[in-house]
């Protein structure tokens, strides 16, 4: 699977044609920035939560880059990249 994208003016790797699938199987286009520490999870903007209709899974503890420990609710969803569906856990961020 190949990812296509570009580098933004802020030097962030921006991915093209990435979608997230909500509970009702509807595809939502997302603007995705590649995180080199990607661990199989995706962070989505909390302001769009009602649009995504994600399935809640519970709460998970994370360590941020600065060492801070936080608890966040996690959700089940799927990424769609090049028409391939990949199940992932998602967190919601500000």
Residue 2 lies in a domain: no
Identify the pLDDT of residue 37. Answer: 64
Residue 81 lies in a domain: yes
Residue 72 lies in a domain: yes
Report helix, strand or coil for 46. Answer: helix
Residue 16 lies in a domain: yes
| pLDDT tens per residue, range 58-87 | 999 988 888 999 998 999 888 898 888 989
| pLDDT tens per residue, range 22-31 | 777 788 888 8
Please state the pTM of the whole predicted model: 0.72
**Which ranges of the chain would DSSP assign to H, the alpha helix?**
49-52
Residue 43 lies in a domain: yes
Residue 42 lies in a domain: yes
Region for residue 19 given its phi and psi (left: phi exceeds 0; alpha: psi -120 to 50; beta: otherwise): beta
Residue 4 lies in a domain: no
Query: For residue 52, what are the domain limits?
Result: 11-93
68 vs 2: which has the higher pLDDT: 68
The answer on pLDDT for 19 being more than 80 is yes
């Amino acid at each position: 699977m190949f990812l296509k994208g570009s580098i933004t003016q802020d030097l962030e790797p921006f991915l093209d044609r990435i979608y997230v699938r909500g509970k009702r199987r509807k595809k939502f286009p997302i603007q995705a920035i590649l995180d080199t520490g990607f661990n199989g999870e995706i962070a989505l903007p909390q302001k769009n939560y009602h649009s995504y209709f994600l399935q809640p899974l519970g709460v998970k503890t994370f360590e941020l880059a600065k060492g801070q420990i936080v608890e966040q609710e996690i959700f089940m969803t799927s990424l769609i990249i090049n028409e391939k569906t990949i199940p992932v856990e998602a967190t919601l961020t500000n």
